[in-house]
């Protein structure tokens, strides 16, 4: 149903005879002038004309598809498309298919993902208006799960498990349709595949935060243990250490670095293994410094920061400053 | 049982191959002794920028809704290189005036919807142009209305009418308001709370609440609060802890998120976080936090080495990383980041290579030349106030006053052979230059 006139120029189409295209007005001193590819200017000329007429119609909707075909980042075309879809009360299932391709092929395009988000909200609102509450809920839940699957498909097709807009869409769906409670197995699967995927680690935190907040001791312990286990499997992985410190120290939801003795034990174990292999682990040293500071052992903590200055030269200034700060605090 | 490096995964494979590509460029210079290569190819970059300023090939059609960005990226890259010629200013003013919407704000091109991103790009480009004619292009009253219309009920700003809300919106809106001296309390209302909700468990800031800490959004959130003098709302120590780990041990450049690849654009987005944090601590009262006196926690020389050796394209322009082509976005932000790294907080210049590599000094809040920020201030301060009296953000003003109070910039170039063989990857190797607190 979209762009079915194929290659016939708009100027030769019977149903566009009443419209005079509006040329782009760059003024007398244009900059960053794009040498537009064939067809680009004509389609945009008609789009400007339709905008000026403020016309929302089937042909306007079809025209926006052509504009988007030329430039999928044209937010004005997507905006106008939504206006048409709303004004004409058009069935939105086809629209989901229309955006499938764009989100999959242009995963870094803000407009496509935002359009999809709008679409899902609009479809669920319409279902609630049209169907009985039970039927509507069923249909909406099934659509939401399709969206989660679609996000996974996009990641797999592009072999990119860190696409920011995709993750944003997933979290929107989980939030909107209250599906956080089913999400942990999905995160664990992604982390089994790539323990270094920080987007998955972040998602884990957000899932936990949306499931249980304020944190219970049980959940906190589970998450700390998850991080510790993960560190054992790959101690040079920054994500797991960061995740650990999301639950330790000072701040909302945290307990003291000294309250979980296993953390210090593991830090020392990692540092021993590293030493045996004539290497180092800046994350373990940093965590140990935090623990020593929490214990009030300033001298030992400063020694860790001095060690870090040696082994982590690119952050030398930061570690030196951390040592200074500690001495300053201790008086 | 502890394993230091677990089995290879997609992330570690990508990282190893990226490291190899970057190190190949470094090794080439170490082995050949071709130290002259640690040299900014100014002429090549400028020639390439000038071509793009007037004309772009058909494959840029997908960026037709970002034309003010091209004007800013190119104009700013030129000014940082010290060669923004005066004859461009009237053209910048003229073209951007055709992107301004009568209801306020600027669009991605003529007859498009006003949008906060091109609005920021256009206003910044007009500041780069630096003439009264350019300043007068902006309809400030309509701009203020537009910015207020974009305020989102959940906090933050929508990018356009019925558009998405994310961290870019905050920076674009507040930076524009501050540059134009129309920043008000009502415009800032709810913004610190919104940005704090987006500071993540890692310490950096996400594009939206719940998402991953990210260099670009972190700069946007932090700079927004710093402009307004409200950075204390954030956990600044947690932020710094996150940011320092984003400088890559071997490559020297920055990654945008944990376990992602180095990318030259983060030279600015991450690199500028450090002086912003330093200034936020200073404005918050240095009796509370003793601050390093001549540096900002990261390592400027390795960053410059990454940019100069691995990111310059021989045909002009800078790229994200080796094996990519140069583009205007990366050229702008690679050079912006290099400029930030060349001026420390005591007006010294940690400079890799010779003086020919030194760029112009920029304002870390707006990313236009420091001198241009001062120039526009003189102009807008003298204008009569609008119906809702606005001002420039106090944080941005205090920083410029502080910089002006310091002694003049002292240039120190570090001999390339020392820096290039310094090596930050291993355990013990001689330092590029003596670094004292």
Mean predicted lDDT score pLDDT of chain B: 92
Query: How far is Cα A21 from Cα B313, in angstroms, rounded to an integer?
Result: 41
Question: Count of domains in chain B?
Answer: 1
Mean pLDDT for the stretch of residues A275-289: 98
End-to-end CA distance of chain B: 40
**Residue A233 pLDDT more than 80?**
yes
pLDDT at A216 over 60: yes
Task: Determine, for residues B110 and A206 on separate chains, whether the beta-carbon distance falls below 8 Å.
Answer: no
Residue A35: phi and psi, rounded to 5, are -80, 90
CB contacts, 8 Å: A276 with chain B:
none
Supply the pLDDT for residue A107. 80
State residue B11's pLDDT score. 98
Q: What is the pLDDT of residues B420-430, one digit of tens each?
A: 433 444 333 32
**Do the Cβ atoms of A35 and B57 come within 8 Å?**
yes
Asked if B115's CB is within 8 angstroms of A75's CB, the reply is: yes
Shortest distance, CA B57 to any CA of chain A (angstroms): 5
Give B413's DSSP letter.
Answer: E
Comparing A252 with A242, the larger pLDDT belongs to A242
Contact at 8 Å (CB) between A26 and B110? yes
Residue B224 lies in a domain: yes
CA nearest B258: which of B221, B216, B298, B213? B213
What local confidence, expressed as pLDDT, does residue B356 receive?
A: 94
Residues of A in contact with B115 (CB under 8 A): 75
The answer to whether position B15 is within a domain reads no
| Catalytic member of A17, A58, A101, A108 | A108
pLDDT of residue B408: 82
Which pLDDT score, from 0 to 100, does residue B424 have?
45
Nearest partner of A321 among B416, B345, B2, judged by Cα: B345
pLDDT of residue B293: 85
Residue A132 structure tokens: 């009985």
Residue B306: DSSP 8-state: I
Q: Does some domain include residue B34? A: no
Mean pLDDT of the B195-215 span: 98
For residue B244, count other CB atoms closer than 10 A to its CB: 23
DSSP assignment of B335-357: HHHHHHHTS-TTSEEEEES-GGG
B152-160 long-range contacts (CB < 8 A, ≥24 apart) are B154/B194, B155/B190, B155/B191, B155/B193, B155/B194, B155/B197, B156/B191, B156/B194, B156/B195, B157/B116, B158/B116, B159/A75, B159/A110, B159/B115, B159/B116, B159/B117, B160/A75, B160/A79, B160/B113, B160/B114, B160/B115, B160/B116
In a domain, B398, yes or no: yes
Q: Is residue B59 in a domain? A: no
Task: Assess if residue B340 is contained within a domain.
Answer: yes
Size of chain B, expressed as the number of residues it contains:
437
Any idea what the CATH number is for the domain that residue B85 is in?
Answer: 1.50.10.20
pLDDT of residue B36: 63
- Strands (E) located in B69-117: none
In a domain, B323, yes or no: yes
Query: How confident is the model at residue B415, as a pLDDT?
Result: 56
Counted across chains A and B, CB pairs separated by less than 8 A come out at 247
Mind listing the pLDDT tens digit for each residue in B94-110? Answer: 999 999 999 999 999 99
Angle B88-97/B116-129 helices, nearest 10 degrees?
150
* A154-194 residue pLDDT tens: 999 999 999 999 999 999 999 999 999 999 999 999 999 99
* Dist. CA A163–CA A170, nearest whole Å: 11
**DSSP-based three-state secondary structure for B222:** helix
| pLDDT of amino acid A6 | 64
What is the average per-residue pLDDT within B300-326? 96
The lowest-confidence range among A101-115, A129-143, A233-247, B385-399 is A101-115
Which pLDDT score is estimated for B286? 64
pLDDT at position A5 is: 57
Q: What are B211-231's pLDDT values in tens digits?
A: 999 999 999 999 999 999 999
Measured distance CA(B240)–CA(B236) in Å, rounded: 6
B173-183 residues labelled b (16+ CB within 10 A) or e (exposed): bbbbbbbbbbb
Cβ <8 Å between A310 and B298: no
Residue B52, Cβ neighbours under 10 Å: how many? 21
Q: List the structure tokens of B156.
A: 């933050």
Q: What's the gap in Å between the CA of A132 and the closest CA on chain B?
A: 29
For chain A, list the strands marked E by DSSP: 33-34
Q: Which domain holds residue B345?
A: 40-53+64-422
Please indicate whether, in this complex, the C-beta atoms of B297 and A321 are within 8 angstroms of each other.
Answer: yes
Q: Tens of pLDDT along B252-262?
A: 999 999 999 99
Pairing of strands B348-352, B410-414: parallel
Task: Say yes or no to pLDDT of B200 above 80.
Answer: yes
Taking residue A235's Cβ as centre, other Cβ atoms within 10 Å add up to 24
Residue of A23, A32, A279, A280 best to disrupt the B interface, most CBs of B under 10 A: A32
Tens of pLDDT, residues B322-369: 999 999 999 999 999 999 999 999 888 899 999 999 999 999 999 999
Whole-angstrom Cα distance, residue A65 to residue A92?
14
What pLDDT is attached to residue B347? Answer: 86
* Rounded CA separation B317/B319 (Å): 7
Residue B88 domain flag: yes
Tell me if residue B205 falls in helix, strand or coil.
Answer: strand
For A236, which of B5, B247, B428 is closest by C-beta distance? B5
């Amino acid at each position: 149903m979209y762009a079915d006139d194929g290659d016939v120029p708009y100027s030769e189409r019977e149903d566009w005879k009443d419209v005079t295209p509006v040329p782009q007005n760059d003024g007398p001193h244009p900059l960053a002038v794009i040498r537009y590819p064939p067809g680009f200017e004509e389609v945009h000329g008609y789009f400007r004309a339709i905008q000026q007429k403020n016309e929302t119609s089937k042909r306007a909707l079809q025209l926006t598809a052509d504009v988007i075909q030329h430039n999928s980042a044209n937010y004005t075309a997507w905006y106008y498309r939504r206006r048409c879809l709303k004004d004409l009360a058009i069935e939105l299932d086809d629209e989901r298919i229309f955006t499938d391709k764009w989100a999959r092929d242009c995963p870094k395009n803000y407009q496509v993902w935002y359009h999809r988000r709008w679409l899902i909200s609009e479809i669920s609102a319409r279902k609630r208006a049209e169907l009985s509450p039970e039927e509507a809920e069923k249909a909406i839940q099934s659509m939401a799960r399709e969206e989660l699957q679609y996000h996974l498909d996009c990641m797999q097709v592009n072999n990119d498990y860190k696409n920011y807009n995709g993750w944003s869409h997933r979290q929107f769906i989980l939030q909107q349709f209250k599906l956080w409670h089913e999400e942990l197995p999905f995160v664990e699967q992604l982390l089994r595949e790539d323990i270094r995927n920080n987007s998955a680690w972040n998602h884990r935190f957000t899932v936990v935060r949306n499931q249980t907040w304020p944190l219970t001791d049980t959940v906190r312990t589970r998450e700390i243990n998850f991080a510790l286990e993960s560190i054992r499997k790959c101690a040079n992985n920054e994500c797991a250490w960061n995740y650990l410190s999301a639950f330790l120290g000072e701040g909302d939801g945290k307990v003291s670095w000294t309250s979980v003795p296993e953390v210090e034990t593991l830090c020392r174990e990692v540092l021993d293994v590293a030493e045996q292999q004539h290497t180092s682990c800046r994350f373990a040293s940093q965590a140990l410094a935090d623990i020593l500071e929490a214990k009030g052992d300033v001298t030992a903590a400063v020694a860790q920061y001095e060690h870090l200055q040696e082994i982590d030269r690119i952050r030398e200034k930061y570690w030196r400053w951390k040592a200074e700060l500690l001495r300053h605090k201790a008086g | 049982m502890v394993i230091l490096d677990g089995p290879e995964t997609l992330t570690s494979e990508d990282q190893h191959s990226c490291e190899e590509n970057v190190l190949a460029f470094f090794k080439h210079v170490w082995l050949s002794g071709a130290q002259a290569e640690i040299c900014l190819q100014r002429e090549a970059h400028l020639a390439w920028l000038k071509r793009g300023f007037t004309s772009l090939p058909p494959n840029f059609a997908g960026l037709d809704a970002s034309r003010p960005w091209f004007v800013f990226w190119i104009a700013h890259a030129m000014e940082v290189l010290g060669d923004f010629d005066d004859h461009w200013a009237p053209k910048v003013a003229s073209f951007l005036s055709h992107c301004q919407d009568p209801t306020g704000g600027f669009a991605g091109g003529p007859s498009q919807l006003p949008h906060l991103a091109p609005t920021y790009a256009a206003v910044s480009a007009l500041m780069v142009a630096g003439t009264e004619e350019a300043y007068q292009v902006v309809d400030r009253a309509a701009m203020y209305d537009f910015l207020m219309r974009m305020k989102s009920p959940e906090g933050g700003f929508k990018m356009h009418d019925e558009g998405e809300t994310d961290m870019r919106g905050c920076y674009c809106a507040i930076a524009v308001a501050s540059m134009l001296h129309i920043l008000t309390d009502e415009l800032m209302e709810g913004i610190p709370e919104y940005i704090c909700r987006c500071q993540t468990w890692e310490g950096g800031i996400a594009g939206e609440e719940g998402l991953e800490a990210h260099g670009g959004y972190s700069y946007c959130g932090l700079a927004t609060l710093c402009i307004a003098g409200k950075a204390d709302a954030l956990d600044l120590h947690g932020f710094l802890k996150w940011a320092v780990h984003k400088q890559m041990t071997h490559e020297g450049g920055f990654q945008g998120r944990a376990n992602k690849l180095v990318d030259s654009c983060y030279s600015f987005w991450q690199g500028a976080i450090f002086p912003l944090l330093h200034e936020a601590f200073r404005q918050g009262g240095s009796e509370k936090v003793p601050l390093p006196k001549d540096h900002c926690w990261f390592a400027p020389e390795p960053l410059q080495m990454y940019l100069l050796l691995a990111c310059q394209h021989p045909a002009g322009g800078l790229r994200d990383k080796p094996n990519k082509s140069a583009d205007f976005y990366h050229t702008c932000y690679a050079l912006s980041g290099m400029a930030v790294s060349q001026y420390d907080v005591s007006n010294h210049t940690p400079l890799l290579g010779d003086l020919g590599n030194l760029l112009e000094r920029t304002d870390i809040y707006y990313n236009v030349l420091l001198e241009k920020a001062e120039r526009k201030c003189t102009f807008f301060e003298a204008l009569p106030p609008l119906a809702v009296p606005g001002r420039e953000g106090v944080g941005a003003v205090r920083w410029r006053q502080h910089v002006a109070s310091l002694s003049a910039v002292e240039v120190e170039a570090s001999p390339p052979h020392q820096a290039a063989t310094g090596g930050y990857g291993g355990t013990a190797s001689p330092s590029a230059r003596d670094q004292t607190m």
